């Protein structure tokens, strides 16, 4: 990766990016003209991402490029259902963050808030908060945009090894082309597991990826029940999966792109890597799990699933299923359950709809079936509507028994509510909006978290960045 980047979007552009991630699969038909249903495209899904700061609002298209033709999002999603009588409350745990976009709780009573501006804050059960890690000097040259500190994950054995992982945007490093925007960095840090701060000098770079555009940077990282680290990677930015840094793929009706390519780069995918390789005396920065789907096949071995636009947050359910929210172009938002080797359709589909076409294939030329989401919603109004999906969790805690077994998530433009979706055996999960009875909640939601008891946390932005716990109304 070579060169250095000086371009960085404004604070308003940062917010604009998340909605631009939102609609990636719209209005599809099978090759014979028949409608492709979620059953035709097996639910298995994945996601998309952006970063955001207080004071702006998302828009679609990233850099102003055209969005999805023939999909205006004006019809409410078939998953819309009446909101019903259910409500939620939100207890404020901490506030005063510039742009909180993630929270992790590796130990009871210790909340680690990842802030886009380059700091991780530690909030303790008594309400005190302090800077845990400061890497502001390692981020791209200008503040704002969709770049920054974008992800945080603690090793499953953090209490023993003190290792945690941060995903951030750096100026161009050696290996990144001069006309690219910046370098994607995944780094490991080490700290005393009981300490109130971490030393930035312990950083070890694990993975670098050249990023051609400023947007669609995703940033979601999480350890799976298998002990491997899952890494969300956006499609490279701009719009339509086209432009600088976007390769040609098999789908000729819409030019591009990285979502459907697995051989030229790691963009538009969920990666799965083994960060414990060095523990076994090997020199590589990370290892490849032997059962990754492209090991021994054509393609880059890090890929776990592909066909994604901009995964904004991923999580594992109690049974180990991987939920990924993918921000769409400018008509449809989606959430998928991602399986190994799954192709989630971008830029052939946006949600369950053909992207920029009246008809599109449900299968690749190699016979690979494009997977449908479990949840989708549009931008055009209705009980469930928005501009940029924010991934959440399949709830299995005790404090909110009415929501147990439901996927709880939100849109960036939350307007004082969150979304919930109970599981169904076939088709899209029915989704409803639930009001949150706290006037300080939002108005934008950035991310969800889960504490050691399985209770849900929410990062919001408005006049300031806040951390809440969801409670009964």
**Do residues 171 and 138 touch, judged by C-beta distance below 8 A?**
no
Return the pLDDT at 121.
Answer: 98
How much is the pLDDT for 15? Answer: 35
Burial of 280 (0-12, 13-18, 19+ CB in 10 A): exposed
- Which phi and psi (to 5°) does residue 19 adopt? -70, -35
> In which residue ranges of the chain is pLDDT below 50?
1-84
Residue 143: per-residue pLDDT: 55
Angle in degrees, CA 39, 44, 50, rounded to 5: 125
Q: What domains can be seen in the chain, in order of their start residue?
A: 11-79+97-403 (2.120.10.30)
- Sign for the pseudo-dihedral over CA of 406, 411, 412, 415: negative
C-alpha distances in angstroms, 296 versus 22, 290, 291, 452? 34, 9, 10, 38
pLDDT score of 279? 65
Residue 119: both structure tokens together: 């700091």
Angle CA 300–295–250, to nearest 5: 50
pLDDT of 283: 75
Judged by DSSP in three states, 18 sits in: helix
Cα distance between the two ends of the chain: 51
Sign, CA torsion 133/138/144/150: negative
Element containing residue 390 per DSSP (H, E): strand 389-394
pTM of the model: 0.85
pLDDT of residue 277: 82
Residue 432 near residue 79, CB atoms below 8 Å: no
Residue pair 101/52 in contact (Cβ under 8 Å)? The answer is yes
Tokens of 356: 């920029």
Tens digits of residue pLDDT in 126-170 = 889 999 999 999 999 865 689 999 999 999 999 999 999 999 999
The candidate with the shortest Cα–Cα distance to 191, out of 265, 107, 261, 304, is 107
Q: Let me know: does 45 contact 372? Beta carbons within 8 Å.
A: yes
Residues 355 and 408: their CA atoms lie apart, in Å, by 27
């Amino acid at each position: 990766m070579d060169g250095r980047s000086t371009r960085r979007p404004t604070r308003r552009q940062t917010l604009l990016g998340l909605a631009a991630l939102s609609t990636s699969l719209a209005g599809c038909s099978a090759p014979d003209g028949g409608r492709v249903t979620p059953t035709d495209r097996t639910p298995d899904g994945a996601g998309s991402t952006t970063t955001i700061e207080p004071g702006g609002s998302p828009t679609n298209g990233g850099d102003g490029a055209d969005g999805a033709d023939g999909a205006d999002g004006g019809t409410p999603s078939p998953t819309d259902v009446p909101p019903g009588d259910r409500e939620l409350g939100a207890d404020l745990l901490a506030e005063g963050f510039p742009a909180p976009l993630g929270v992790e709780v590796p130990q009871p009573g210790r909340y680690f808030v990842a802030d886009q501006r380059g700091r991780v804050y530690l909030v303790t059960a008594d309400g005190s908060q302090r800077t845990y890690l400061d890497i502001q000097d390692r981020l791209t040259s200008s503040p704002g945009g969709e770049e920054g500190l974008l992800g945080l994950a603690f090793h499953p054995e953090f209490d023993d090894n003190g290792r945690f992982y941060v995903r951030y945007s750096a100026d161009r490093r050696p290996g990144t082309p001069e006309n690219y925007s910046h370098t994607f960095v995944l780094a490991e840090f080490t700290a005393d597991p009981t300490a109130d701060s971490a030393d930035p000098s312990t950083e070890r770079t694990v993975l670098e990826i050249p990023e051609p555009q400023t947007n669609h940077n995703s940033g979601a990282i999480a350890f799976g029940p298998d002990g491997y680290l899952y890494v969300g990677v956006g499609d490279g930015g701009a719009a339509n999966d086209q432009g600088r840094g976007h390769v040609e793929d098999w789908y000729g009706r819409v030019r591009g792109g990285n979502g459907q390519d697995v051989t030229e780069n790691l963009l538009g995918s969920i990666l799965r890597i083994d960060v414990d390789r060095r523990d076994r005396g090997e020199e590589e920065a990370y290892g490849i799990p032997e059962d990754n789907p492209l090991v021994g096949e054509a393609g880059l071995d890090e890929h776990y699933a592909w066909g994604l636009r901009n995964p904004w947050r991923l999580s594992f359910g109690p049974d180990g299923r991987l939920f990924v929210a993918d921000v769409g172009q400018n008509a449809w938002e989606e959430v998928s359950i991602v399986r190994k080797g799954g192709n989630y359709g971008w830029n052939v589909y946006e949600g369950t709809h053909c992207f920029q076409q009246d008809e599109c294939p449900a299968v690749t030329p190699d016979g690979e079936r494009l997977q449908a989401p479990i949840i989708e919603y549009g931008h055009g109004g209705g009980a469930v509507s928005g501009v940029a999906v924010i991934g959440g969790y399949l709830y299995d805690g005790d404090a909110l028994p009415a929501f147990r077994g439901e996927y709880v998530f939100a849109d960036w433009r939350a307007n004082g509510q969150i979304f919930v979706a109970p599981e169904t055996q076939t088709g899209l999960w029915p989704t409803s909006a639930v009001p949150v009875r706290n006037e300080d909640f939002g108005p934008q939601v950035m991310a969800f978290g889960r504490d050691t008891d399985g209770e849900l946390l929410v990062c919001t932005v408005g006049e300031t960045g806040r951390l809440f716990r969801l409670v009964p109304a």
